[in-house]
A and B are shown apart, each in its own frame.
Chain A
């Protein structure tokens, strides 16, 4: 089937097998490997991408279901050559160790901040509870997303004044 998916602002048209998972499509056809695979049961969340802005587990979406829709992956978080505040915050606050869960965690964090610019620690924990991390114990991931919220608020205040 011919499918056109807009990935990080660019249309990618390809002939795909109907059974092909979106995650495999992104990794092998579009060629962006920052989206990972960690389980067979929709449990780990390392495959998370934003589909029309909302986090989805791309191992549980078929590529054909993404036809005509837009996908944001970790490679698309940066804008205008600038890192997204969650990216900076994850590095500043040591929110990653092996980095395997990190792209997904940052995307979920970024999506959360779009909905809720000032989340509490509890709200952050709830938002990332579909994403596993085996290295960090989540403490610094929560801290990173908080720090990103504050950075965004400061930047917005700076832009207003």
Chain B
């Protein structure tokens, strides 16, 4: 690896591919995941879920369940209502049922909970809870939902007379109309970004331990945002916040699934409060797939206005999103469709207009940012599919069309027609480098030859720009909480340190990379720095890890707090060396007098002096805390190229090459960055080829387990070739932009563009994801007829 470093390997600052600190426990089976937690006297909870998508509840008979030896309680909506907890607020300002009282509104909805002494007994009890349902017709598409004759799903909601969940628009309607009026060509596409599920291998769970005497609530929970969850628990349950301690242990993958607060968490906590014993609830896989945080489900129509020469003049987009029964997208409160308005992508054009509507349906709620920064995957997919379509319609090579419209390096900072200010980038260099790596021109020749022999080769390009790292407090909040984040750094007398974070890893390697940020600033070896996170009693406040915000926000806080300590260290060194502060230089853990490298002390000497030998008037200690309010989002980007071969007889397609160039600014730990990209490219492949949460006309979820909801194994997953460029973020303290989600955002369009490209000469322009072989075969077949 050729990363630029300023520290030697033994210090391990930015740019070193340090081996991960967290591995030591995980490779020996000594991780501490939620289900590994066991407390004395702990009880177990199992949920009773609705088997139907829409029904009135006539009654719930708990007698048989209560008769099971070991069942201690059956909690129903009625009981929760007595504590004013039958409903809870969502992260998008709607309300969601905790346990259903009046109706069930999707299959899998939580209806009751059984508390027992053993998990098997809890499951037995749940089987025996007898719910009397009056089944109602299910509304399973948003189009059907918005038909004025359709039954109102949310009839319990005051003032709700239809199934509209929200309406939102952005951009300039008049300027866009003017651009379309000037256009030589208008190219359009209609596509559905299907419902998908993050499906981390560890499902969601909680161990709620409320002490009946002290009122102390210690809540172990699979949480990507423990601090925000503590505050929300305090607000929803009315518990005093100082008595709530959320501990998010090792997390077995999150991907957005572990951002919302789910009914199971609330019921388990309430049960622990009432019974006075710890209560554990661990979701089943089916429960996870049918009830918690799905992603996407966007029906999108996009139109591009173009000149004959292939210059884009304007973009018009209309979205209909399927929200399920409750509008619970986890997203900044100001934006009803997340950051979907980044849909103008990597291109320079003056006008765009976006309209979005969300509809309630009898499906699970969610709308989480599944490995993306709030609806950015949908946006990136649409623009890259549109540009590809435009290339075919205009007869311009898809790479060339992108070059003609790219925002140029000298245009940064670049304000988009929907109001983002992109921080930095060099798109032409990135795409050129990716094209060269894949051998693009040569591949086009091979494609033509293959076609002549009846073989179908496709080359798909996607050049994405993400908007991550939410975000500046003037614009970004979730449920009113500003999206700042924090870091607290303490250097101990022996020169070892502890760093406490508001963000929380789910596998991204924060315990290693965040220590590297400190090592870079202070010269303390990264392995001498312990990183603590996930325990709200012991870490400073922050909004958590999702939307690729850890490095842009928490990483910035870490760099800033370390610099504050570096400044104090310089003052202490000046005192020790009897020199002026201005003359102290600091590099790789040594502080020396300018011009005389021998007159030096180490950062470890300074740490000891901070507790033993200070200049007159200086406060003891070497520690500080920083709350970072980012001045802007960061805008990682990349150029992805996929080569596929499609079998014309079966529609099966196989990825022959996947070349991914990412520019995420400065890479803290290149090894970890590449690991993140591998994972993201696989998720992108999964969504484009197989992952699919779908429903039959009665609202039964097809995709409720890993036999029906297909996620790729090593056998199907393509091999990836990675490339990079580095254009630092100008406003981030270390120039980093975040990378955890880039590849999931950028790659689906590349895979789909590749399959469509293989069939483009037949006139095929679109196949919706997941691009299943039967859909490909049908596209070929209908093109032929």
Report yes or no: B675 in contact with A41, Cβ–Cβ below 8 A: no
Could you list 25 A-B pairs, sorted by A, with CB under 8 Å? A17-B120, A28-B38, A33-B36, A36-B202, A39-B285, A75-B28, A90-B27, A91-B19, A91-B20, A91-B27, A96-B23, A97-B253, A98-B506, A98-B507, A99-B27, A99-B507, A100-B202, A103-B29, A131-B714, A134-B198, A134-B683, A135-B253, A137-B680, A137-B720, A138-B717
What is the 8 Å Cβ interface bit string for chain B, positions 527-543, against chain A (1 contact, 0 not)?
00000000000000000
B residues less than 8 Å from A135 (CB atoms): 253, 507, 675, 679
Report yes or no: A100 in contact with B253, Cβ–Cβ below 8 A: yes
Report yes or no: B717 in contact with A134, Cβ–Cβ below 8 A: no
When C-beta atoms are compared, the residue in chain B nearest to A75 turns out to be B29
Report yes or no: B675 in contact with A136, Cβ–Cβ below 8 A: yes
- A34, A75, A138: the one contacting B682 at CB < 8 Å is A138
Report yes or no: A96 in contact with B27, Cβ–Cβ below 8 A: yes
Report yes or no: A133 in contact with B28, Cβ–Cβ below 8 A: no
CB within 8 Å for A99 and B678 given contacts A44-B201, A74-B28 = no
B residues less than 8 Å from A141 (CB atoms): 714
A residues less than 8 Å from B276 (CB atoms): none
Interface residues, chain A, CB within 8 Å of chain B? 17, 19-20, 24, 27-28, 32-41, 43-44, 46, 73-75, 77-78, 83, 87, 90-92, 94, 96-103, 106, 124-126, 128-142
Q: Does B31 contact A (CB under 8 A)?
A: yes
Q: Does B79 contact A (CB under 8 A)?
A: no
B residues less than 8 Å from A100 (CB atoms): 31, 33, 200-202, 252-253, 507
Report yes or no: B705 in contact with A106, Cβ–Cβ below 8 A: no
Report yes or no: A137 in contact with B26, Cβ–Cβ below 8 A: no
Report yes or no: A138 in contact with B714, Cβ–Cβ below 8 A: yes
Report yes or no: B678 in contact with A98, Cβ–Cβ below 8 A: no
- A35, A132, A138: the one contacting B201 at CB < 8 Å is A132
Interface size range of chain B in the complex: 35 or more
Q: Does B152 contact A (CB under 8 A)?
A: no
Report yes or no: B286 in contact with A40, Cβ–Cβ below 8 A: yes
Residue from A100, A125, A133 having most chain B Cβ neighbours under 10 A: A100
CB within 8 Å for A140 and B675 given contacts A33-B29, A35-B29, A38-B285 = yes
CB within 8 Å for A41 and B29 given contacts A100-B253, A135-B253 = no
Residue from B20, B28, B120, B676 having most chain A Cβ neighbours under 10 A: B28
A residues less than 8 Å from B681 (CB atoms): 137
- A40, A75, A128: the one contacting B284 at CB < 8 Å is A40
Measured CA separation A13–B486 after assembly (Å) = 50
Report yes or no: A43 in contact with B20, Cβ–Cβ below 8 A: no
Measured CA separation A77–B20 after assembly (Å) = 20
Report yes or no: B23 in contact with A91, Cβ–Cβ below 8 A: yes
When C-beta atoms are compared, the residue in chain A nearest to B682 turns out to be A137
CB within 8 Å for A43 and B707 given contacts A38-B202, A87-B27, A142-B714 = yes
Residue from B26, B203, B717 having most chain A Cβ neighbours under 10 A: B26
When C-beta atoms are compared, the residue in chain A nearest to B716 turns out to be A129
B residues less than 8 Å from A103 (CB atoms): 29
A residues less than 8 Å from B284 (CB atoms): 40
B residues less than 8 Å from A106 (CB atoms): 27
CB within 8 Å for A40 and B705 given contacts A46-B201, A98-B252 = yes
Q: Does B35 contact A (CB under 8 A)?
A: yes
B residues less than 8 Å from A33 (CB atoms): 29, 33, 35-36
Report yes or no: A40 in contact with B120, Cβ–Cβ below 8 A: no
Report yes or no: A94 in contact with B679, Cβ–Cβ below 8 A: no
Which residues of B in the span 718-766 have a Cβ within 8 Å of any Cβ on A?
719-720
Report yes or no: A129 in contact with B203, Cβ–Cβ below 8 A: no
Measured CA separation A96–B711 after assembly (Å) = 18
Q: Does B509 contact A (CB under 8 A)?
A: yes
Report yes or no: A132 in contact with B711, Cβ–Cβ below 8 A: yes
5 closest A-B pairs by CB: A34-B29, A98-B507, A100-B252, A99-B26, A43-B706
Report yes or no: A78 in contact with B28, Cβ–Cβ below 8 A: yes
Measured CA separation A102–B250 after assembly (Å) = 13
CB within 8 Å for A99 and B705 given contacts A17-B120, A38-B285, A106-B27 = no
